[in-house]
Structure 1
Amino acid sequence: MSERAIRAARALPGPLSRRRFLAGASAALLAGPALAQSGATDVDVAIVGGGAAGIAAARRIAGSGHSYVLLEAGPRLGGRARTVEALGMEVDLGCGLLPRDFHPLLAAADAAGVAVTDLSNGPRLYVEGREAKESDYDHFLAALGQARRDIRAAADAGKDVAVATVMPKPEPGSRSGPWEATAADMLGPLGCGRGLNTLSTLDLALRTPPAGNATSPVGVGAMLQTLGAWLNLQTDAPVTQITHGGRVHALRVEGQRGLIRARAIILAVPAPVIAAGAIKFNPALPRRLAQAFDDCPAGALEQVAFLLPGNPLRLEADERILPRAGKVPALLRGRVNGTDLHILTFGDGPAREIAAKGKEAGLRLARAFLGEAFALAPETVTEVACSAWTADPLIRGAMAAARPGKGAQRRLFEDPVQTRIFLAGEYTSTDSWGSLAGAWESGEVAAAKALALLGDGPS
């Protein structure tokens, strides 16, 4: 965001919040030169998808001076990072974390005047409502470290098998057994939204965990909206068909009579949306690429937000809690921004149930988790707000992860499609897939490829 936009946001009444950032950005930049292109049907670059990847790509193209348009199928930017009004406050239902060592995104947030705060390293472990002993931390870290070493060893040996087959097997009666199950939950259902028997060792071995996490007090979804507020954007503009036309491609947008013609396209929609055929291609996608999308299905991760007044769990602000594996595995982010807000992340089967049944399932699972992990009475939680990414036709799930034996397929997403289409999104990154950093970086990479293709300067 420009300095003019930041001043406009701060000039509005009230505390410096998500609403003021977005309102200030809109007020300051409505007359900007990029928006003069909004009625154009011919552009140098069309960016399809307004998540982190699409925003990063559009910012890079805008800075080059080329004409462009960012087409978002939904009513807002952010993709799977979404800050919504729920439970009487602003809630991140989706991606609420970003790697604190990913400087491009941190620099963009700083330039826009959006605060970013560091979070503590790793979750606190709990056993039967109390923080785990030091020996329990040792067991968990040893189990997690051994699992990662075994996964890498299998991949290095060329064994792209199911992760579950190489995981350490707990010895009967071993005290580390429950922590090995907890580590499996972190790597599989809570880390990828899928069971370890469905995940490729090669794909998981290449993934690099972030060195640490950060967040934004205004919400990560709101932060992304702010970073894209000045772009030449069309919302509620789902692209239904992309037609190859030689030196230009034509995009058909639902509800619009004319076509948008572009010399290059950055396709930054979620992988499962492409796999489902929501966008038609003429000619069809290459068979190898279509198969790669099928071989990297999306997992299921859903979030349940609720209030716990009075801090009955005695947590510090923004603490993340991981109870020892039980019947209802979940990861808790407590006292978000120091408030009464708490957010649970569920994966795989429970997440699919939440997406299908909504608040009813979310409330039941939250109560079950809190009862098992902290012995809280069910009536402690009376209302919840839930995400529904798995059921959302514009999202269709969490991150895409390769099936066993298909880990090498992800590299196919790096290649241009029909010469002028460049894929972007977390799924295109071989080492940062499933992360906000991977999505943002992929957008910048796709934009660089598009600009290299254009080569002759702005049209």
Structure 2
Amino acid sequence: MTRPRHPGTLNRRHFLAAASAALLPAPALAQTGASDVEVVIIGGGAAGIAAARRIAEAKRSYVLLEASPRLGGRARTEDAFGLRVDLGAGGFARSEGTLAASAQGAGQTLIALPSGRRLFAHGREVRESAYDAFASALGTARRDMLTSVDGGKDIAAAQALANAPPPAKGTPGANGPWAATVAQFLGPLGCGRSLATLSALDLARRDAPPDDTTSPAGIGTLMEGLGAWLNVQKDAPVTLVTHGGRFHSVSVRGQRTPIRARAIVLAVPAPVLAAGAIRFNPGLPARLVTALRAIPAGHLEQVAFLLPGNPLALQPNEAVLTAAGTAPPALLRGRINGSDLHVLTFGDAPARTIAEKGAAAALPLARDWLRANFPTAEAVVSEVVASNWGQDPLVRGALSAALPGQGAQRRVFADTVQNRIFLAGEYVPVSGWGTLGGAWASGEAAATRALRLFGDGPA
């Protein structure tokens, strides 16, 4: 197995991209070395980076605390087979928030991803009529989930589809030929969990535009570049947040003196908060703890491998969905940046197995998927590199989706906590949850709310 290596020194392209971030105002903490700041941002993923940039632009003192040695959260670019690959977020929607504008303003290069996904069945691309049937079945499933919650009762997404009235003659319904593929696409491949464990309300309310933009250097590298010149402390896990009236005190492992702040942007993954990995004194409101536990993380893991010679006849960065069959469901990102590198994303039970057993489980899963869908390519794959989000204590899984009956809980995350704590992350948006762009936008929104404490912006 090829082990992922952490990025080393910046090359010329990365240096120039990072240097452009120096145009941001220098934070007061970096100038004074003081332990008191106006805003502490906890968590250095997309939401935390976005929040820190917004605070820096307002010329307020701040510090961004990241528990790991690198920024980016679940956006992480690794070395695999001598190439750079994202084993996490691989793109984002340009229309969702200001991430694209922020990246371009920082001198980062962006490229367009191919529109839509290619749909294959039995090793061949389906006909146009099958594309139409799949799109219709997907739309019907969303409509059935919305209809099921019209009366105010939130049920499991699987039950909502099973309870749907028979479709009109000639139209696809819950038992149509693409129903199983739609269920896999919305559940295990979309949220890392089966539809039986997902809230129909939460899933139907989700409005996540498809990814249409990426970075040729990798989304993880993009995130690190956007945070390169922020006032950051890495390897700085927060252990305790104490409410002290007009100030909060933030204790960091290995640092004797807590940091005092007038506001906190809490950009930590929901499952990490739900597990109590950070202590709060006084504790977080019971209503918030209940809401965090109501949106457990799904399981999504990426498996990278080489397919020399383009045996699947794909264009660079194309996405492929295959019809449901005997192999574990997966989504394929093919020919990363025109190379021989491909990435499969597995969800739910297969992803849990990969997280627990690593490449020993990832390799046979990848080969089984290829054997079932593209038999001629299966024999080529002899080595893989896999992610391990489910076992990472700073992440604890993939995106967070609500349990049946708990879809309304997501609105709780808009509340200010203890007057001065503002939540940010992919789990916070009511409709745009579970996306990189949504996480970025939530960080900017949390920072904007924090700045209002200082009279920056409308009350």
Normalising by structure 1, what TM-score? 0.91
Which residues of 2 match residues 85-164 of structure 1 at below 5 A? 85-102=79-96, 104-164=98-158
- Aligned residue in 1 for 2:230: 231
Which residues of 2 match residues 379-394 of structure 1 at below 5 A? 379-394=379-394
- Aligned residue in 2 for 1:370: 370
Structure 1 runs of 4+ aligned residues shifted over 2 Å read: 18-22, 28-40, 168-171, 174-178, 376-379, 454-457
Name the CA distance, whole Å, in 2 between partners of 1:268 and 1:94: 18
Amino acid at match of 2:138: L
Which residues of 2 match residues 242-257 of structure 1 at below 5 A? 242-257=241-256
From the superposition, tell whether residues 33 and 422 of structure 1 become closer, same or farther in structure 2 (CA, over 3 Å). Answer: closer
Which residues of 2 match residues 1-400 of structure 1 at below 5 A? 16=13, 18=14, 21-22=17-18, 24=19, 32=26, 36-37=30-31, 39-102=33-96, 104-167=98-161, 177-210=176-209, 212-326=211-325, 327-376=327-376, 378-400=378-400
Name the CA distance, whole Å, in 1 between partners of 2:44 and 2:400: 18
Amino acid at match of 1:273: V
- TM-aligned CA deviation for residue 38 of structure 1: 7.6
- Aligned residue in 1 for 2:4: none
Normalising by structure 2, what TM-score? 0.91
Name the CA distance, whole Å, in 2 between partners of 1:25 and 1:107: 14
Name the CA distance, whole Å, in 2 between partners of 1:74 and 1:13: 22
- TM-aligned CA deviation for residue 212 of structure 1: 5.0
Name the CA distance, whole Å, in 2 between partners of 1:19 and 1:380: 37
- TM-aligned CA deviation for residue 270 of structure 1: 0.3
Name the CA distance, whole Å, in 2 between partners of 1:197 and 1:456: 45
Amino acid at match of 1:376: T
From the superposition, tell whether residues 109 and 209 of structure 1 become closer, same or farther in structure 2 (CA, over 3 Å). Answer: same
- TM-aligned CA deviation for residue 39 of structure 1: 3.3
Amino acid at match of 1:334: G
Name the CA distance, whole Å, in 1 between partners of 2:242 and 2:77: 34
- SS of alignment partner, residue 189 of structure 2: coil
Amino acid at match of 1:239: V
State the identity %. Answer: 60
Q: Give the paired residue count.
A: 440
Name the CA distance, whole Å, in 2 between partners of 1:257 and 1:227: 30
Which consecutive unaligned segments of at least 5 residues does structure 2 have? 1-9
Q: Is the 8 A contact 2:344 2:366 kept in 1?
A: yes
- TM-aligned CA deviation for residue 412 of structure 1: 0.5
Name the CA distance, whole Å, in 1 between partners of 2:24 and 2:128: 56
Name the CA distance, whole Å, in 2 between partners of 1:385 and 1:178: 34
- Aligned residue in 1 for 2:7: none
Name the CA distance, whole Å, in 2 between partners of 1:151 and 1:30: 45
- TM-aligned CA deviation for residue 442 of structure 1: 0.6
Q: Is the 8 A contact 1:37 1:232 kept in 2?
A: no
Note the aligned Cα RMSD (angstroms): 2.2
Q: 1:24-62 CA deviation, whole Å, 9 max, x = no partner? A: 569x68995556248321000000000000001000001
Name the CA distance, whole Å, in 2 between partners of 1:374 and 1:34: 57
Name the CA distance, whole Å, in 1 between partners of 2:87 and 2:290: 31
My pick for the range that moved more, 322-331 or 154-163, is 154-163
Name the CA distance, whole Å, in 2 between partners of 1:434 and 1:53: 12
- TM-aligned CA deviation for residue 437 of structure 1: 1.2
From the superposition, tell whether residues 408 and 32 of structure 1 become closer, same or farther in structure 2 (CA, over 3 Å). Answer: closer
From the superposition, tell whether residues 33 and 280 of structure 1 become closer, same or farther in structure 2 (CA, over 3 Å). Answer: closer
- SS of alignment partner, residue 280 of structure 2: strand
Name the CA distance, whole Å, in 2 between partners of 1:112 and 1:426: 22
Q: Is the 8 A contact 2:303 2:343 kept in 1?
A: yes
Q: 1:352-396 CA deviation, whole Å, 9 max, x = no partner? A: 111111111111111010110111364311111111111100000
From the superposition, tell whether residues 332 and 117 of structure 1 become closer, same or farther in structure 2 (CA, over 3 Å). Answer: same
Name the CA distance, whole Å, in 1 between partners of 2:393 and 2:277: 9
Q: Is the 8 A contact 1:101 1:211 kept in 2?
A: no
Q: Is the 8 A contact 1:155 1:205 kept in 2?
A: no
Q: Is the 8 A contact 1:37 1:67 kept in 2?
A: no
Q: 1:40-89 CA deviation, whole Å, 9 max, x = no partner? A: 21000000000000001000001111100000000111000001112111
Amino acid at match of 1:383: E
Q: Is the 8 A contact 1:295 1:409 kept in 2?
A: yes
My pick for the range that moved more, 391-400 or 120-129, is 120-129
From the superposition, tell whether residues 347 and 456 of structure 1 become closer, same or farther in structure 2 (CA, over 3 Å). Answer: closer
- Aligned residue in 2 for 1:5: none
Name the CA distance, whole Å, in 2 between partners of 1:422 and 1:70: 14
From the superposition, tell whether residues 34 and 420 of structure 1 become closer, same or farther in structure 2 (CA, over 3 Å). Answer: same
